[in-house]
Every structure is written in C-alpha cells, then in structure tokens.
Amino acid sequence: ERPIFRICVLFVDEMEAVARQLGRGEKAMKHNEKVDRTGKGVKQDIRPTDMDPALAAKRYKSFEDQTLDALEYLGELFIYNLINAQGSYAKVEENIIKEMEYQSSLELNPETHDIIHELPRADEIIQHARQNLVRRLDGYAKDHEAMFVSVTSELEND
C-alpha cells in the first residue's frame, strides 16, 4: 500500500510565539528549581530565547526572514496547509484534526487510485487539447482562409 503524506505547518503570530517561548522558559525554570530542591528528575535546557523577550522576538524575525521563504518554495513542490496555531492546545488540536479530515476527504481510496493512476492527468489532457486546437486553427487558416477570416471577424464583432 502506498504511503499517504499529509503535511501541515502550524503558524502563530510574533506575539504568541514570544509568549510561548517565555512561558516555556518559565516552566523549565520552575521544573529545574524543583529538581534542585528534591534531587529528583532531570533538568531541562533553557535557551536564551526562552528568557529574554528581545531575543525571542529576534528568533521569530529570523523565522519570518528565512523559514517562511523556504516554506513558500516548498509549497511549489508539494501541498501543505498552514494551520492557525493560536489559542489553546485543545483548539490547535481541533484545527489539526479538521484539516486532516478535510485533506482526507480530497483523496482517492488506494483501490480507486490503483485503477485509474494510468489515465492521463488533467494538465496532460489540457496540453493535448491545446495542441489539437492549434493544429485545427492552423489547418482552417491554411485550407479555408476566406471562411476562417469571415468567422473570426464575426466573432470579433459579436
């Protein structure tokens, strides 16, 4: 059975990203203090961007300047969906589930795909139809020039 890939990019605005980074830092600090107090558990790493709002904002700006361009380019190569990840984890999970259900509704069952995968794609059909149209128009212009000119003039005036 062929694999099915569904790709989503979770996106938050700068204010939310900074708030989440700082929240992660605060949570890690509390956890590490508990580890120090009790001697139980493993300390979590705390990045500078988890503690400093200016560094967190700079990190987001770097994401905007570098990663978003790469994502736009990848969007030309394969389909992915941008999901609003603002709000609670439950709301984000709900958004992800909705998007996955939507993407699933657009896909053929594997059995159906196996039956029709050899048929020409829509872009191939369109290209072939255009080639036939060009051939026919050139033939009309060559073999029936007077009538072709008359018809095109009538269409222009209509």
What rounded mean pLDDT belongs to the chain?
89
* One-letter identity of residue 121: R
Give the tokens for residue 134.
């060009």
Sign of CA dihedral 112, 117, 122, 125: negative
86, 83, 79, 87: which is closest to 96 by C-alpha? 83
Check residue 2 and give its pLDDT: 63
21: buried, middle or exposed (CB in 10 Å: 19+, 13-18, 0-12)? buried
pLDDT of 4 higher than 80? no
- Cβ atoms < 10 Å from Cβ of 17: 19
**In which element (H, E) is residue 82 found?**
strand 81-84
What is the Cα 157 distance to its own chain's centre?
45
Q: What is the pLDDT of residues 22-46, one digit of tens each?
A: 999 999 999 999 999 999 999 999 9
